[in-house]
Each structure stands twice: as C-alpha cells, then as structure tokens.
Amino acid sequence: MNTIPHHNHLSLSLTSLLLLSPDFAYPQKQDPNRDTLINVIDQSDQLIGKLEQFAQLHWSLVHPQLLNQQLTTVDSDSSSGSKPPSTAGHPNALNILCLDNLSVPHRRTSGGGPVGFKEIDSSLLTNHQSLASSMLCSRLQFVQYHLADLRTRVLDRNSRILVTGDLNAGKSTFVNALLAREVAPTDQQPCTEVMCEILDKSHIKSPLEQIHAIPHGSVYDVNDPATYETYSIDKLPELVNVASEDNEDSGDDENRSSPYQLLKVYISGPETRKARLEEDLNASNAISLLRQGDVSVSFIDSPGLNRDTLSTMELFSKQSTIDVVVFVVSAENQFTLSAQEFLWAASQEKAYVFVVVNKWGGIRDKVKAERRIREQLRKLSPATWQERSELVHFVDSQDAITCAQAKATSNGQDISTEIEPFDHLQRSLSSFVFLRRSISKLQPAQTYTRNLLQDLQVITATNLEAAKNFYDEAQAKLEKILPRFNKLSANSHLVDETIGQIEENTVSLVYKNSRKVLASALKNIREGKPAQNAPADPNSPEPYFPVYDGLLSIFQYAEEVRKVLISSLEESVKLAENVARKSTSDA
C-alpha cells in the first residue's frame, strides 16, 4: 500500500493542504471493494477543491510541466538536428493534469512523444506563471467534473459500451453480429450520423421495441415523453442519416449534423444462435450481451472518428461516461492518426480497451498485417497488449453474420469454422463485461484516481520545492540588505535630530518673517496707508484710495476706503504665505 510521503523540510500550510492524512492511500490494482473506491474518489475531489481554493487565495501554483519543457529545450539545443526528446519518462511527467491534455483534441504539429493533444508554447507559460496557474486551476475543475462522472459510473450497476473506430471500420456490422440481428443500419458508405445507444427493452414500459430520439438541448428522462421523440424500430435507418434542416438547405455534405444528440434504441434480447458449439449448448442457447440477471448493458454505435472535427470532439468527450471501449479497427487501414489520438486519451483512464480488428477475411498476408497491428497496439495500450488473448480479436463481422445465418438453416451441419473467432470474441466480451466487472467497471476509476493522485503528489513536491526556493531567495536578499538596514537603524537618531532641528529653524524663520510682514501691514493701515505698496501677485493692479467728492458722498467714500484697506491686507497675507513657502522650500 503506497502512501503519499510527507515533506517535513518546509513548514508551510501548503503541506497540510496538499497532503491528506497518512492513511490516505492509492487504490490497489485489483481492489474489488466499491465502497473503498467511492471513498477514494470523494477524498480526491475534496483534495482538489482545497488545492484550488488554496491556489486562488494564497499561492500561485507552479506546474511541473514548465520544468519538463525547459529540460526538453536544453536537450534539444545540445543535440541539434536530432529528434526532440520525450518527457514521458521524466519523474515530473504528468498524466491527468498535463497542460497538453486538454478536453478538446487537436492534431499535434511537431514530432516527438506519443500522439496526443495540442502542445502549449513553453515560453508562453514560462513568461506567464499566472497563466500556467490559471490553466492548472481550470484543469482541476475539469477533473472534478470527471470524478463526479466516475462516481456515478461506479455506483451504477449497468455498463455502457462504446463501439467506436474510424470511418468504414464496420462498427455497425460488428454491433449487429454481436446482437445476432440487424439493428444498426449498414452501408458501403458511412451512414451513421448520430450516436445510437442500444438497450434492453426492459428499461421501458412499452411492450413494443422503440426508438427515443433526444433533440439537442434536451435532458433525457425515460418517464417524460416531452424530452424525446418516439419512433418505431424500422425508422432507425432514416434517423441515423437525417440531417438538420439548416444543413440540408446549405447542401454542405461535409458538415452534416443530426437534429438529435442521441438515439436510444430499446430492443428485445438478442435472438439465439441456433448453431452453438456443443459445449455451450448445455449451459445456454445464447450469450446475451444486453442483460444477465440484474445487470444490463447498452451498446453505443458511434460515427467514425475521422468523419469531421465536431464528431471527433463529441467522441472524445463521450468516452468519459463509458465503462468499456470497444475499438473497431479496419484490417485494411490499421490504426490511423485519429485512432491513435483516441486510444491515447482513453488510456488515461481505461488501461484495458477491447480491440476488434474487423474485415480480417479480406486480408491476404495476415501474418504481416497482424504483426504491424500488434506493434502499434503494444505502444498505444500496453495493458491491452498484455491481455491480448482476451482483448484483441481478428474477425470479420460480415462473415460471422453470414455463417451464423447459414448454420441456422443447416440443421446443425458444420458449414464453416469462420464463425469460431467471433464466438471467442463474444465470449471474451461477455466475460469482460459481466464476470470481470472489477476490471471493466471499477478498474477505469482505479486507474484514473491512481494517476490523479500521482500527479497531485508531483505537483505537491514541485510547489513545496518552489516555495522553499522562494523562501531561500527571499532569505538571501534579506541577509544581503540586513547590514545596511542595521547601519541605517543605528544612525536613525542622528537623522531624527537633524530633521527636528531643521523643522524648528524653519518654523521659527517662517514665524518671524510672517510676523514682520503682517506687523508692517497693520502699521501702514493705522497711518491711513495701504497695507502694501505693491501687490503680492505681479498681475494684480496696485492699490489706490478713491477720490473724495465732498460730504454728500462721504459714506460711499468710507466704504471704498474700507475695501481698499482690506484688499491690501489680503495682499499682505498672500505675501506672508509666499515667504513661508520659500523658507520651507529652501530648508
């Protein structure tokens, strides 16, 4: 049981925040205890919430990827002309919280490392630490949403299987072969425009098989007919090909989109194959992949990965709500770039992917083709490669359907053995979904939480080191300026005394000059003269007394004289203020 180690070298609140109690441990690989896994998911969610709150209030998070990119740049400069080194093996490499690992897929435009998501300019992140911290916080919010999906999936006893792959890989034909009936429409050209989820009819109350078409923007509720449109099962070929009215009017075949976000197809249990191997007949006449006991399964038939950007983005986001991924590969095209991108994204959570190499019957050099596919798969999904006997199957779905129909009408005669690989595939898928539920149902959540906690441990160590470096740098600066500070502190009393003396001298001088100016002004007024002969402001006119016109205007004369004296006294006050300002400025 690996626990998150403590970091005692730095006494910061970041330590207590990022690390849980000592008994918080990673989930083990084969832990079947669902309650334990739910507890780990809940604690991980709480841990991320505290980390995000701490980052917003107290600390700008340092992302370990910046260090990796700097190391990569140094190595690239030292080996000019060679292939850029990958940071996948670096001890600070991240899986879930990598800034390259965004929710929207993009083609990588540069070489090096596995095919993944759009690369981030390292210089941009290095020069804008706050940007990297903000992106990491956004990534943490996305992880919290995903943890909520994981919790719902772990608690749900039912399983959802996504059947995906590139265009014309034979996904719909494969689904029909699994269900032993023609449900999903097939054609030589791509015909699936919208995702179709095929479920057992026991989920609805109607005795008839139905299709619930869910429009965009609607929240599906099986008990609320207002949230979906109901169609009969024979309308499925039309519904998967229907496009919205806007796209039909535009005539743009490249960007056709369905008015429905999902088609839920409720059918009866798969019809039995009348010709089973003898050892299977004593147990059951059919392997039901839609329901066994109280556990039900739904198959999601999806459009091709490389059909258009919107469909690819939808598939990437859809896989987070899926328990099992069945990846259908065309034996003719093998793993395309879009297939590698999807498997790389899915491997962040699902260590095991069910791989079906379809259209195998049309390959002439099967040894060479199988070798190339296995080499690709070994790099894309190592865990799947280790379990290849049960998870990797080379079949031809159309031949399986044809042979099954021939056996059903042959009264048990052995018509062909080409159906045997598909029978093995069907039994393996049934075992993987129903019998090995600790792997198909719980293991993806275990893988995701383990990778997440390892990423958090790396981020914790990185930020503790960054905080320690920040502390050491601040301590070094403090020690550098401390002698000067002490010297200034020792001489501060001399400075205070000097400043005090200057203040006293300045105040005394200002008082003396102001008193002199005002005393002279009052003396002149007593003698019947203006307080100042010249105004303080050069632009103001000189003061003068009015002309005396006799007794008849004596009151007016007295009022005008009073105004002149007051005005001249105001000029004296201004002059005193100017003298005070000059004395203060000189000091």
- What is the extent of the structural domain holding 207? 156-435
The Cα–Cα gap between 247 and 259 comes to 10
Higher pLDDT, 435 or 377: 377
pLDDT tops 80 at residue 249: no
What per-residue confidence (pLDDT) applies to 438?
72
The pLDDT tens digits for 219-244 are 999 999 999 999 998 888 888 877 54
Residues 33 and 164 in one domain: no
Give 524's pLDDT tier (boundaries 50, 70, 90).
Answer: confident
pLDDT tops 80 at residue 545: no
Residues 128 and 170 in one domain: no
Q: Residue holding tokens 């990958």?
A: 86
pLDDT tops 90 at residue 401: no
Work out the number of other CB atoms within 10 angstroms of the CB of residue 205. Answer: 8
Residues 27 and 136 in one domain: yes
Residues 402 and 533 in one domain: no
pLDDT tops 90 at residue 479: yes
Give 8's pLDDT tier (boundaries 50, 70, 90).
Answer: very low
Element (H, E) at 126: helix 122-127
The Cα–Cα gap between 173 and 178 comes to 9
What per-residue confidence (pLDDT) applies to 77?
47
The pLDDT tens digits for 253-265 are 444 567 888 899 9
Helix (H, G, I), strand (E, B) or coil at 121: coil
| Average pLDDT, rounded, for the chain | 74
Residues 131 and 160 in one domain: no
**What are the contacts of 508-513 at 24+ separation with CB within 8 A?**
509/583, 509/587, 510/579, 510/580, 510/583, 510/584, 513/576, 513/579, 513/580, 513/583
Q: 525 in a domain, yes or no?
A: yes
Give 167's pLDDT tier (boundaries 50, 70, 90).
Answer: confident
pLDDT tops 90 at residue 270: no
The Cα–Cα gap between 280 and 287 comes to 9
Higher pLDDT, 403 or 364: 364
pLDDT tops 60 at residue 295: yes
Residues 106 and 171 in one domain: no
Residues 127 and 218 in one domain: no
Q: 364 in a domain, yes or no?
A: yes
What per-residue confidence (pLDDT) applies to 85?
37
Residues 385 and 269 in one domain: yes
Contact in structure between 192 and 257 (CB atoms under 8 Å): no
What per-residue confidence (pLDDT) applies to 318?
61
Residues 343 and 378 in one domain: yes
The pLDDT tens digits for 67-113 are 555 444 444 444 444 433 343 444 557 888 877 544 333 333 333 33
Residue 427 amino acid letter: R
For position 199, which CATH number holds? 3.40.50.300
Q: 149 in a domain, yes or no?
A: no
Residues 17 and 129 in one domain: yes
**How far apart are the two ends of the chain, measured CA to CA in Å?**
76
The pLDDT tens digits for 153-164 are 888 888 888 898
pLDDT tops 50 at residue 24: no
Element (H, E) at 469: helix 443-490
Q: 406 in a domain, yes or no?
A: yes
Q: 481 in a domain, yes or no?
A: no
* Strand pairing report for 260-267 and 210-215: antiparallel
Give 404's pLDDT tier (boundaries 50, 70, 90).
Answer: low
Work out the number of other CB atoms within 10 angstroms of the CB of residue 92. Answer: 17
Number of domains in the chain: 3
What per-residue confidence (pLDDT) applies to 259?
86
The Cα–Cα gap between 158 and 317 comes to 20
Helices (H), 347-396: 366-380, 382-386, 388-391
pLDDT tops 50 at residue 296: yes
Give 189's pLDDT tier (boundaries 50, 70, 90).
Answer: low
Residues 345 and 229 in one domain: yes
**What are the contacts of 73-77 at 24+ separation with CB within 8 A?**
73/122
Q: 375 in a domain, yes or no?
A: yes
Residues 402 and 547 in one domain: no
Q: 1 in a domain, yes or no?
A: no
* Strand pairing report for 392-394 and 354-358: parallel
Least confident range of 41-50, 120-129, 256-265, 344-353 = 120-129
Q: 235 in a domain, yes or no?
A: yes
Average pLDDT over residues 9-22: 36
What per-residue confidence (pLDDT) applies to 474?
93
What per-residue confidence (pLDDT) applies to 555?
87
